[in-house]
Every structure is written in structure tokens, then in C-alpha cells.
Structure 1
Amino acid sequence: MREYLPRVYDGILRQRVKSKGAVLIEGPKWCGKTTTAEQIARSVVYLQDPRTKTQNLRLAEIAPRELLKGEVPRLIDEWQLAPQLWDAVRFEVDQRDDFGQFILTGSAVPADTSSISHTGTGRIARLKMRPMSLVESRDSTGAVSLEKLFGGERVPIVRVESSLEHMAFLLCRGGWPKAAGLNAETALLQAPDYLDGVVNSDISRVDKKERDPRIARALLRSYARMSASQGKVTEMLADVNAQGVAASESTIRDYVKALGQIFVIEDLLAWNPNLRSRTAIRTAPTRHFVDPSIAAAALSVGPGDLMADLNTFGLLFESMCVRDLRAYADVLGGDVYHYRDRSGLEADAVVHLRDGRYGLVEVKLGGDTLVNEGAKSLLALQKKIDVGKVGSPSFLMILTATGDYSYYREDGVYVVPLNALAP
């Protein structure tokens, strides 16, 4: 059995289990939902186990409470195979009147909710997991703590072994637990296999609606080209049609919605701060995949291709940074947004905590010229923010793909290689 690599969601799940009767873990397939839940579960029922599947599904119909018996927290894996268990769990939570009773995990494909009569509000909490960040896959030193930066500590000057070539590999490998620790050749096969599963099966299983794999693959390729941009559906349609695949705007919108439902894409919403000026803020979301390796697979590119096309590399690296920042923000009880206005001023990511603290982040592959550009943009945005209403940012940070050190500049901007960052 392979070693379990601790996840940032371990602590979050323990906290949720202690504060709710049941917890539903959602997220993309292959991101480790069941394995993480198994770490704290005291008993488990695997509905998809072929040895007991028929019996379990029959019990779910005629005597669902039998499946709920066992030491708690009890893990019910692939619960969506028997959606009626949702109401049974909710009722049992009410009857037991105690926290920490159940953990539900399952496929990224949503369950059929037609037979569910109660939302579970107040009884069943939802926890979204994502693929591994670099600190989880042991590819980050973790020397720079996001929590400490929010606490007012200056970024430490620490040495980091970081190269563009290795970062290109990590991007294409992705944050899939099964890929971590594999040899490079085998690890790089995982994302293309994931993509094949999405276009040939998962996108049609969302709502049992048959969808054309050719359109799905062409759309994913188009979406990948628009990574880290505010690409419009009409632009995607034109790109899909240019690939020789006939589709309509309504079809593209339908497919985009389906991809979001199975957690393949996860766009970044806009941050709307109080500004001293009346600059118009762009509110369209920024396009991102839940893991940048899906974008690389959709474009049929590997590490060498990214090294030969630094523009594409830079866009996908931004998605990689967003993936990690989202995981780290989850630990701190925060969210990640983006900021862009019509004057061209931007922050690739804004990490915003529930207590109001926030940090502004720009993403650059590296090099003095790009880092200087990023710092200039962050400092200009800081001057526009009405600090009397929202406070000053806790930090201004540039995340890079390369660099021998994390350090702070004389203007106060922090420069941190992504593989030095931690929650």
C-alpha cells in the first residue's frame, strides 16, 4: 500500500466532522476524497464494492438505516449510487442529535436529487476538495507560510531549488494523488487519461444527457487556450468551429455548465473592493481548470512544449498558482478572487479571509523584468484601494516559477517561488 500523503484538507475535515452531524466531500474525481475520509472514519460501507453492491443497494431501498449502523464517523462511499441515503442520513442525524456521525463521498458526477426531499441544511455540511497543492505532493519546501504573512510577519529569505523545467513537469503532472511519486513518464500519462474519461464518459453522466466527445474535446482545448483570461462563450464557439467541429452557442453553454458540475473547470470570480477612484471593474470571471494538467492535456502539450512556448506556460502557471492558493485559503477560511479593471490594472489573485484581511498576488514565471512589472501593478492597485473602508492589504506578493530565494523588495513587495509556499 502506498504511503498516504497528508492533505491540507485533513484538518478541515476533522473540524467539519466535529461541528456537523454529517459532512459531504465534493470535488473532482481522482483528487483523493475517499482516501482522505478513510483517515478519520471509524467504519466504512463501500456501495460500489462488487461483492456487496447488489445487497447494499437493496438495503438502501428497503432498510437504509441498516447501512448507517457502525462506529462513527461512518464513511459512506459512492453514496450517489443510492441517493435515498441522503434523507436517511439527515433523519438519522436528527435522531441521534450529535455531531460527527457520517462522512459521504462519491463520484464527481452529481447524484440524482429527484428522490431527495430535504436539502440537509444544518445537518450535512459540504467540503470541497481539490487536487494536491505542491506542499501536499511534497514539491514545496513550505518555508513561506501564507498564514504568517496574514499575521504581519515578513517573508523569510530562504533558499529554494526551483527551475523552470521542473515547474513545467509539475504543471503537466498535476496534483493527482496517484501521480505523486511516480516516475516522470508514468506520471505524465495521468492527466491525458483523466481528460479521456471526461470527454468520453463523465460529461454525459452529469445529467444522463448524451454529449458529443468531439465537441467536449474541442471545447476543453479552447478553454485551455483561454486559461487565466476572461474569454467569452462566443469566443469559445468561434474557436470550436475553427477546429472543424460544428456547435451552437447554446451547446457550448450547456457543455461549460456540465464541466463545472463535475469540477473540471473552476473559474475565478472578480473581487470588488472599495476604490478611491471610479474605475470600472471587470466583473467577468477568469477562466481556470481545477488543475492545470487538464489544460496541458487538452492542448496536447508536455513540459518540453511549455519550455518552447513561454506565453502558454505563463498562463497555465497562473492556473497552477490559483489551484494552490485556493487550497491554502481553504485552510485559513478564505477565498480567492481576481481583480481587473478597464485601465489594465490587475491582480491575478486576491486571497480574502472572512475576517476582512486580504493579500494581493501577481503571478510571473520569473526574471527581473517581469517581477518589476508585477510589483508596479500591485503598488498601483494598492494606491487605488480605499484603505479607510477595507483596510490595507496584509501583503503584496509575486509568485514565481523560478528563483533561488524568497525575498522582500525595498518597495515592500514579496517575491516567492510557488514551491516555497504553504498555508
Structure 2
Amino acid sequence: MDYLPRIADGLLADRLASAGAVLIEGPRACGKTRTAEQAARSAVYLDRDETALTALQVDPSLVLGGEPPQLVDEWQLDATRVWNQVRAQVDTRQATGQFVLTGSSVPDDDARRHSGAGRFARLMMRPMSLFESGDSTGSMSLRALLAGERPSVPSVDVDIHRTAELVVRGGWPLNLAMTPTQAAAANRDYLRTIAEVDLARVAGSRRDPVRVGRFLQALARNTAMEHVVERLVGETISDAPDDAGSLTKPTAYRYQDALTRLMALELQPAWSTHLRSRSRLRDKPRTHLVDPSLAAAALDASPAKLVRDLNTLGLLFESLVVRDMRVYADAIDATVSHYRDSDNLEVDIVVEARDGTWGAFEVKLGTGQIDAAAASLLKFAAKVDTDKVGAPAVLGVITASGYGLTRPDGVVTVPIGALGP
């Protein structure tokens, strides 16, 4: 299929202009290699070319001597050798834009591998946002909202059935041309590969696919909720005698670490800020797989099933919005977190730019929930010590459909089909 432009294209160009090598990391099949190919003038694919892996052991310069920028795909297959040779080449050439390394897992730390400071820039890629896949107009820009602009858009009609389809399909480039049924099957296969192949590869020993599957299901059931490993472990235990699928807490932590290294699991951290009140901040992250389609696949949820279970659909919709917000925040060098305090006041998304500018958003599936969400945001804003962190640039409610406008109370409503970078 034709290449669809990615927000990472511009980020990659910027990093190639400022560093000798750029490391693009992200989950398998999110589009890293295609994006890197748009900037590269030569390429070596270590997962496809066994002779290249052999040559690396004999004379790395034979493999890493292509015209720059040279793409080195799946570099982690010989991580220490590639890393150190690329670093040496960058030092020798004394020029930016020499290499692009792509990888779908984070290798173990290796004392022989130089930190790369001053030579390497890093770029995280995720599955496609709705703006990148063409399912959002992008007319309500996150950058503009944080800059104080208040764009307005006509009603965006993404009905509940289409929302469920977008959740199940996910942001995987290869899924865009598939039917929801085909995409759901592809995502189940993706999880099966993680359980049967990938986890063992990054963890260094065989893992029981049944236990991994149970853990993935527990993560999916806890999407957009506070991440508590003890609760996840409890959800893997069944009433069946001699249950072979339950987990211990140490095993759950090992699986969590491996899924994080595969970039299939990306927890949403809690926002640390100053409060006016005596409330205490909670510091636990929220559970999110890197794409809501993986949670849907773990739950074996079709669009029709999700429409019949609006609570689950609402949580997976929130995960979809978090995925998109992370992509858009990367474009403006911002972070995405959440807020919860000891009074159980919660905010789904807090976006904070490097200069301290910040905004807060609630995510609601239905427009009938907007009033309550807006009241919650205003209550939250009153708790934050704005003398220390500044006033919020925007308070917004992100919905599946409806109008993009500014309410009389100042809260902005943002339909997901209009949100963009």
C-alpha cells in the first residue's frame, strides 16, 4: 500500500539534522521501517539477511558502509556490535544524519555498549493516530489548544458502531485496508506471537503461553484503570482445580518487564504537581497497552460485543485517545500523564509541554457525560496551585462525536474525529 505520512517523519528529519544516528523504537508492525525508508538512502535488514549478521562478526564496516543516512533494521539482533560500530563511524565521520536504527524490542543493557551520548537521538513510534490514518480531520490541533487558541468545528459524526470498529481495528498500518473481522483476527495473531515467541526472546527463557495470555487478558480488563500488579495476579486465578494458568507476583513482574521491552505495554504515569488543598497525590500509573486493539483482541471483543458493553468500550475508547494524545504530544515535545488525588478526583489526561504549559482533558464516550466531565475539570483546576505551575492553557472534554466548541464555562469540547497534532 502507498505510504501514509506520519507525524514521526518531521521528528525524524529534525533528529537527523542534529545527531549522527537516530534510534527509532516502537512495537512490531507500527510502521518504523517504512518511516525510516522515507529518509534513508541505503539499508540493511538484519532480520532478513543472515549474511549481513555473519559479516558483522567479521568486519562490521562491510555492512555499515552504505550511503548515509543508512537504515539498519532490527539492529538489536546484534545490539552491542551494531551500537558500538555505529558510534565509532559517527565519531570518525564527524557528521550528522549518518544512520537510522530501528528495533521492535529494547535489548538488555550491556556494559560494553557506550551510552551513545552526543551521537544518538531517540524517537518513539506508536501505531497510527486517527489523524494519520485519515479518520480525523485534525482541525482541533493540540498545539493550538495549548497555545490558547479556541478553534470550533461542526458536529463530527463518529457513531458508536464506528467508534467500536476503530478500537478493534487499531492503528496498525497493515490493518487499515482490512475489515473489522480481519483486523481482529490479525490482532489476535499479534498477541499469540507475543505469547508464544516474542516474550521468550526478550526474557531469555521459555514462557508459558497460557500464563502470558492470562496476564494479557488481565491487563486488558484493567485498561485505563490504576495499575496494581496484585490485582492483575488475582485476576489470573480461576476456580478450576490444579489451575495451570495462574501467576505468581514475581512472574507477573517478569511478564510486565518483557511486555514493556517489547513496547506492547506503555503505562500512563501520574502527574506530579503542586496543590492548594490538603489532598494528596496518588502516584500509581494507569494501565494501557500500546494500542486499544490489543486489549480488544485479548478480550476477544468484536465491535458488536463492545457496543453491547458500553463500559468496556468507554475504557478502550479512553485508551485510544491516550494513544493519539501521545502521538500528538511527541510532535510538540510534551508528556502525557493522568491525575488522581486522595479525594478520588481524577483527570484522564494531563498534557505538559517542556516549557511548563499544560492542559487537562477528560475522555467521555457520550455527549451526555460532558457536563459532569466539565464540572470535574473545573474542580480539578481549582485544586492546582497555579502560582507555582501556572493556569491551565486548556481544559477539554474529548468525545466520540459532537461539536468542537468552547462552552460558557470555558471548557472546550473536542470530538476525536477533529483532534490532531
Does 2:136 match 1:140? yes
How has the CA–CA distance of structure 1 residues 43 and 279 changed in structure 2, closer, same or farther, with 3 Å as cutoff?
Answer: same
| Mean Cα deviation higher: 237-246 or 250-259 | 237-246
Whether the aligned pair in 2 keeps the contact of 1:141 and 1:160 (CA below 8 Å) is no
Residue 178 of structure 1: aligned partner: 174
What residue ranges of structure 1 are gaps of 5+ in the alignment?
none
One-letter identity of the residue aligned with 1:419: G
Does 2:96 match 1:99? yes
One-letter identity of the residue aligned with 1:408: T
SS at match of 2:173: coil
How has the CA–CA distance of structure 1 residues 184 and 229 changed in structure 2, closer, same or farther, with 3 Å as cutoff?
Answer: closer
Question: What TM-score, normalized to structure 2?
Answer: 0.96
One-letter identity of the residue aligned with 1:262: L
Distance in structure 1 (CA, Å) of the matches to 2:350 and 2:19: 29
Distance in structure 2 (CA, Å) of the matches to 1:356 and 1:114: 35
Whether the aligned pair in 2 keeps the contact of 1:173 and 1:190 (CA below 8 Å) is no
SS at match of 1:237: helix
One-letter identity of the residue aligned with 1:321: V
One-letter identity of the residue aligned with 1:284: K
Does 2:84 match 1:87? yes
How has the CA–CA distance of structure 1 residues 29 and 291 changed in structure 2, closer, same or farther, with 3 Å as cutoff?
Answer: same
Distance in structure 1 (CA, Å) of the matches to 2:74 and 2:256: 25
Residue 11 of structure 1: aligned partner: 10
Distance in structure 2 (CA, Å) of the matches to 1:290 and 1:242: 27
Q: CA deviation at 1:77?
A: 1.1
How has the CA–CA distance of structure 1 residues 184 and 236 changed in structure 2, closer, same or farther, with 3 Å as cutoff?
Answer: closer
Whether the aligned pair in 1 keeps the contact of 2:15 and 2:22 (CA below 8 Å) is yes
One-letter identity of the residue aligned with 2:32: K
Does 2:236 match 1:237? no
Residue 64 of structure 2: aligned partner: 68
Residue 130 of structure 1: aligned partner: 126
Whether the aligned pair in 1 keeps the contact of 2:155 and 2:401 (CA below 8 Å) is no
SS at match of 1:392: coil
Distance in structure 1 (CA, Å) of the matches to 2:44 and 2:265: 30
Q: CA deviation at 1:373?
A: 1.1
Whether the aligned pair in 1 keeps the contact of 2:26 and 2:105 (CA below 8 Å) is no
SS at match of 1:242: coil
SS at match of 1:355: coil
Does 2:220 match 1:221? no
| Mean Cα deviation higher: 169-178 or 79-88 | 79-88
One-letter identity of the residue aligned with 2:97: G
Q: CA deviation at 1:194?
A: 0.9
1:126-185 Cα deviation digits (max 9, x unpaired): 111100000011111111111111111113133312111101000000000100132333
Indicate the RMSD between aligned Cα atoms, in angstroms.
1.4
SS at match of 2:203: coil
SS at match of 2:130: coil
What residue ranges of structure 2 are gaps of 5+ in the alignment?
none
Residue 163 of structure 1: aligned partner: 159
Distance in structure 1 (CA, Å) of the matches to 2:109 and 2:388: 43
Does 2:46 match 1:47? yes
One-letter identity of the residue aligned with 1:98: A
Residue 27 of structure 1: aligned partner: 26
Spell out the pairing of 1:230-309 with structure 2 (5 A cutoff). 230-242=226-238, 244=243, 245-309=245-309
Q: CA deviation at 1:59?
A: 1.6
1:225-284 Cα deviation digits (max 9, x unpaired): 111111411111111012742321111111111111111111100101111112111100
1:395-421 Cα deviation digits (max 9, x unpaired): 001111132x21221101111111110
SS at match of 2:182: helix
Whether the aligned pair in 2 keeps the contact of 1:364 and 1:399 (CA below 8 Å) is yes
Distance in structure 2 (CA, Å) of the matches to 1:265 and 1:156: 34
Q: CA deviation at 1:380?
A: 0.3
Distance in structure 1 (CA, Å) of the matches to 2:113 and 2:332: 33
Distance in structure 2 (CA, Å) of the matches to 1:201 and 1:318: 29
1:191-211 Cα deviation digits (max 9, x unpaired): 111111111111111132211
Q: CA deviation at 1:112?
A: 5.3
Q: CA deviation at 1:45?
A: 1.3
How has the CA–CA distance of structure 1 residues 221 and 337 changed in structure 2, closer, same or farther, with 3 Å as cutoff?
Answer: same
One-letter identity of the residue aligned with 1:337: S
Residue 73 of structure 2: aligned partner: 77
Residue 404 of structure 2: aligned partner: 406
Does 2:349 match 1:385? no
| Mean Cα deviation higher: 64-73 or 14-23 | 64-73
Spell out the pairing of 1:303-382 with structure 2 (5 A cutoff). 303-368=303-368, 370-382=369-381
Whether the aligned pair in 1 keeps the contact of 2:291 and 2:319 (CA below 8 Å) is yes
